[in-house]
């Protein structure tokens, strides 16, 4: 008798987790596998959380987020995008990961197809599967100067069962930033076909080309459209360990979002939310300096890996990953395991980012430039002989 749902029994670690398993604590490994830098969260943000703890902010609070954080989010998003957001649309359930899950809970039912603009962050595929939905990849095309979304191919992938589209911009792993025109076109298509949209904008402040912040669906979607804009503190303010993010949901879902937040987490950890307020109100200098570091590192990666005769690498416009294709390499997991063993560099295997990525690896270039240089020097001989 099948008691556990088969889709759950089939779950395996991603091609990030599989490489990293067992080597996380090895001090000789330079970790480029996860999506974070080696910078601790800025002190003024930590201080705000410590103060909240010292003041006894250790109780349950609103499941959709504390009042100060939701007010600060409204002020931040209004300022950033020149909008007037209804603060009731903001929910802080915990991490952005949980925000994507809740958006999936709102949009995806058994048998529903969900278009995933790929290459994508692997967790999102599992969200669709947990909900009993069917992930359908639509891969970006890798042009010489930038990645591009082929709308004809996207339309061709739609069926009567298609329920929603997930898109992440700036993108993990490609660094693609969707232009405002591309966003308008996608939103238009969703409107025409009655599709929901999950817009994952967690890298909105990690921008090297064009406007900071990256264009957002918050600027163009109406307040009651089935659009969920997910964002968080991890990537902009070096707060990955805090597990703090937010969702802007359709206006009519205020109560349902409260219920979903209740049952998933009963809201984000309360004292961390005070760190979130500090980040939003005083974090611009950090955002700028972190972007400058990542931009310099991006340039370093382009000058080294990007020029390698066996590598094809489109310059990332945002986020903080490079997603090179290595000619002649056909097993990304095996390559990453070799990189770990022989070069002591932690990479993420390309296959895990959707179909068609078996010759790619992902590396996060947000760490200190000197360490990144060492990692690249260690990797180049492996790429010379890549098989
Ligand atoms: C595209 C994307 N969305 C969401 C997340 C989750 O972020 P958080 O740490 O806030 O859960 C990540 C983390 O790597 C990501 O790359």
Our measurement of the distance from residue 361's CA atom to the centroid of its chain's CA atoms, rounded to an integer in Å, reads 17
Rounded to the nearest angstrom, the distance between the alpha carbon of 234 and the centre of ligand 1 is 7
Rounded to the nearest angstrom, the distance between the alpha carbon of 102 and the centre of ligand 1 is 14
Rounded to the nearest angstrom, the distance between the alpha carbon of 387 and the centre of ligand 1 is 31
Domains delineated in the chain: 6-41+285-382 (3.90.1150.10), 59-283 (3.40.640.10)
Cβ contact 300:306 at 8 Å: no
The CA distance from 218 to 227, in Å, is 9
3-state secondary structure of 165: strand
3-state secondary structure of 90: strand
pLDDT tens sequence across 63-118: 999 999 999 999 999 999 999 999 999 999 999 999 999 999 999 999 999 999 99
Nearest to 12 by CA among 126, 118, 141, 91: 126
Residue given tokens 């597990």 in the structure block: 243
Torsion of the alpha carbons at 136, 133, 95 and 216, rounded to the nearest 10 = 50
22 or 160, which is more confident? 160
Rounded to the nearest angstrom, the distance between the alpha carbon of 203 and the centre of ligand 1 is 8
Q: Whose CA is nearest to atom 13 of ligand 1?
A: 35
Tell which atom from ligand 1 comes closest to the C-alpha of 232.
10
Q: Whose CA is nearest to atom 7 of ligand 1?
A: 96
Tell which atom from ligand 1 comes closest to the C-alpha of 34.
14
Determine the average pLDDT of the residues in 346-375.
Answer: 97
Above 90 in pLDDT, residue 22? no
Rounded to the nearest angstrom, the distance between the alpha carbon of 202 and the centre of ligand 1 is 6
The CA distance from 298 to 138, in Å, is 26
Rounded to the nearest angstrom, the distance between the alpha carbon of 101 and the centre of ligand 1 is 11
Residue 146 structure tokens = 């930038």
Q: Whose CA is nearest to atom 14 of ligand 1?
A: 35
13 or 181, which is more confident? 181
Q: What local confidence, expressed as pLDDT, does residue 1 receive?
A: 72
Residue 18 structure tokens = 């599989």
* CA distances to 12, 83, 151, 221, 322 from 92, in Å: 28, 19, 32, 20, 30
At a CB cut-off of 8 Å and minimum separation 6, what does 278 contact?
44, 45, 47, 48, 49
Tell which atom from ligand 1 comes closest to the C-alpha of 36.
14
Rounded to the nearest angstrom, the distance between the alpha carbon of 97 and the centre of ligand 1 is 6
At a CB cut-off of 8 Å and minimum separation 6, what does 7 contact?
129, 130, 132
Torsion of the alpha carbons at 133, 320, 382 and 339, rounded to the nearest 10 = -60
pLDDT tens sequence across 214-273: 999 999 999 999 999 999 999 999 999 999 999 999 999 999 999 999 999 999 999 999
What's the pLDDT band for 387 if we cut at 50, 70, 90? low
Tell which atom from ligand 1 comes closest to the C-alpha of 120.
1
Residues within 6 Å of ligand 1 by CB: 35, 95-97, 121, 168, 172, 200, 202, 232, 234, 240, 245
Q: Is the pTM of this model over 0.85?
A: yes
**Which ranges of the chain does DSSP label H, i.e. alpha helix?**
6-9, 17-20, 43-54, 67-81, 96-107, 123-130, 151-157, 180-193, 254-264, 270-282, 284-304, 332-338, 369-384
The CA distance from 66 to 55, in Å, is 15
Cβ contact 45:240 at 8 Å: no
């Amino acid at each position: 008798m099948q008691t556990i749902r088969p889709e759950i029994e089939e779950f395996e670690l991603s091609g990030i987790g599989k490489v990293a398993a067992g080597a996380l604590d090895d001090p000789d490994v330079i970790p480029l596998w996860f999506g974070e830098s080696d910078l601790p969260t800025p002190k003024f943000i930590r201080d705000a959380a410590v103060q909240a703890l010292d003041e006894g902010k250790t109780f349950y609070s609103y499941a959709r987020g504390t009042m100060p954080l939701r007010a600060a989010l409204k002020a931040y998003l209004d300022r950033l995008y020149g909008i007037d957001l209804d603060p009731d649309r903001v929910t802080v359930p915990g991490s952005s990961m949980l925000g994507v899950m809740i958006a999936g809970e709102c949009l995806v039912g058994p048998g529903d197809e969900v278009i995933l603009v790929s290459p994508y962050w692997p967790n999102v595929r599992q969200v669709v599967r947990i909900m009993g939905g069917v992930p359908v990849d639509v891969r970006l095309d890798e042009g010489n100067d930038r990645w591009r979304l082929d709308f004809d191919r996207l339309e061709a992938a739609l069926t009567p069962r298609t329920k929603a589209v997930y898109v992440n911009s700036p993108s993990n792993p490609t660094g693609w930033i969707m232009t405002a025109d591309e966003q308008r076109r996608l939103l238009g298509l969703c409107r025409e076909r009655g599709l929901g949209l999950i817009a994952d904008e967690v890298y909105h402040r990690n921008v090297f080309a064009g406007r900071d912040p990256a264009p957002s669906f918050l600027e163009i979607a109406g307040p009651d459209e089935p659009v969920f804009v997910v964002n968080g503190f991890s990537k902009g303010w070096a707060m990955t360990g805090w597990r703090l993010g937010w969702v802007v949901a359709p206006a009519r879902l205020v109560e349902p979002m409260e219920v979903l937040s209740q049952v998933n987490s009963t809201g984000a950890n309360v004292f961390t939310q005070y760190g979130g307020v500090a980040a939003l109100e005083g974090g611009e200098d950090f955002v700028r300096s972190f972007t400058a570091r990542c931009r310099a590192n991006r340039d370093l990666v382009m000058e080294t890996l990007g020029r390698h005769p066996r590598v094809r690498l489109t310059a990332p416009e945002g986020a903080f990953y490079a997603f090179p294709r290595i000619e002649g390499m056909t097993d990304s997991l095996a390559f990453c395991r070799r990189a770990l063993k022989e070069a002591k560099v932690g990479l993420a295997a390309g296959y895990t980012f959707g179909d068609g990525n078996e010759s790619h690896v992902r590396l996060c270039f947000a760490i200190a430039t000197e360490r990144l240089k060492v990692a690249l020097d260690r990797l180049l001989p492996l790429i010379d002989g890549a098989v």
